[in-house]
């Protein structure tokens, strides 16, 4: 398949690009700085642009079978309208160039998934991630209202762990604590989806199945995960104080 990948220099996007190249796809990485993927040499085509620009995305999208987005704001908790503006640009560009398939990475806790999140997750989503998630919610709805063959993916908290090759995916998944999934597994799910199309016009929640079962079944591990969350929140607060950027 000919795939255009947005967010290709981010950790999830990079896993996706590596997997797609290994699988024999023809990949165009949409990047702001082509130098960031210099080590990939001739393995991928590079298209330079800003994801918020319909003109830039359309110029890159022509001739592709699908667009995959792993766009994100890295460690920033301010959206800076990235998702709302990029979703508009992307929908317009896709319509303009006739590329109908889109796999878009969102976050569990955005939009309707907030309602089914755990108490721990709600605490994080409505404080630290509130601004980011508000922007993502508008973007996700815009994509669902488009005429594209979309899939909007909702992973739980991302880790840099290895790919396990298994996902727990569902339209609705009950949550305890703050389960995780590795970026490598999210990329593999998105890659399988762009080829298979099982979740077209659906919004799958995905999480690590082993952790998911353990959370439901084992109080000790649940307590450890909660402790992990406290460390996570403390680190975020420290980073906010150090960078003098407000969290919300």
Is residue 138 within 8 Å of 189, Cβ to Cβ?
A: no
Q: Residue 158's beta-bridge partner residues?
A: 181
Q: What is the C-alpha separation between 81 and 166, in angstroms, rounded?
A: 33
Nearest one of 179, 187, 166, 207 to 72, comparing CA atoms: 187
**Minimum distance of ligand NAP from residue 181's CB (angstroms):** 8
Select 8 or 46, whichever has its Cβ closest to ligand NAP: 8
Q: What is the C-alpha separation between 169 and 37, in angstroms, rounded?
A: 31
Residue 72 binds ligand NAP (CB under 6 A): yes
Select 101 or 183, whichever has its Cβ closest to ligand NAP: 183
**Minimum distance of ligand NAP from residue 9's CB (angstroms):** 4
Residue 204 binds ligand NAP (CB under 6 A): no
Residue 54 binds ligand NAP (CB under 6 A): no
In what side-by-side order are the strands of the sheet with 2-6? 45-48, 26-31, 2-6, 66-69, 101-105, 149-155, 205-207, 168-170
Residue 70 binds ligand NAP (CB under 6 A): yes
**Minimum distance of ligand NAP from residue 125's CB (angstroms):** 10
Select 99 or 190, whichever has its Cβ closest to ligand NAP: 190
Largest CA distance in the chain: 53
Residue 183 binds ligand NAP (CB under 6 A): yes
Beta-sheet pairing, 205-207 with 168-170 = antiparallel
- Selected from 2, 22, 23, 50, the binder of ligand NAP by CB under 6 A is 50
Structure-block tokens of residue 178: 């703050």
Residue 13 binds ligand NAP (CB under 6 A): yes
Interaction site with ligand NAP (CB under 6 A)? 7-13, 32-33, 36, 50-52, 70-74, 82, 105, 107, 155, 157-158, 183
């Amino acid at each position: 398949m000919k795939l255009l990948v947005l967010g290709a220099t981010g950790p999830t996007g990079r896993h996706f690009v590596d997997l797609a190249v290994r699988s024999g796809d023809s990949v165009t990485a949409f990047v702001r700085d082509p130098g960031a993927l210099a080590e990939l040499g001739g393995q991928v085509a590079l298209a330079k642009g800003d994801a918020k620009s319909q003109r830039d995305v359309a110029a890159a999208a022509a001739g592709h079978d699908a667009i995959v987005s792993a766009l994100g704001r890295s460690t920033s908790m301010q959206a800076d309208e990235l998702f709302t503006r990029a979703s508009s640009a992307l929908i317009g560009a896709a319509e303009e160039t006739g590329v109908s398939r889109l796999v878009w990475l969102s976050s569990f806790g955005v939009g309707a998934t907030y309602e089914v999140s755990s108490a721990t997750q709600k605490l994080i989503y409505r404080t630290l991630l509130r601004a980011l998630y508000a922007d993502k919610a508008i973007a996700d709805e815009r994509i669902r209202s488009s005429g594209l063959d979309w899939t909007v993916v909702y992973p739980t908290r991302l880790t840099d762990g290895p790919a396990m090759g298994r996902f727990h995916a569902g339209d609705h998944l009950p949550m305890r604590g703050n389960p995780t999934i590795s970026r490598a597994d999210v990329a593999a799910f998105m890659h399988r989806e762009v080829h298979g199309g099982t979740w077209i016009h659906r919004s799958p929640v995905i999480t690590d199945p082993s952790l998911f079962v353990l959370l439901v079944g084992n109080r000790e591990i649940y307590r450890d995960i909660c402790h992990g969350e406290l460390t996570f929140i403390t680190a975020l607060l420290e980073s906010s104080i150090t960078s003098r950027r407000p969290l919300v």
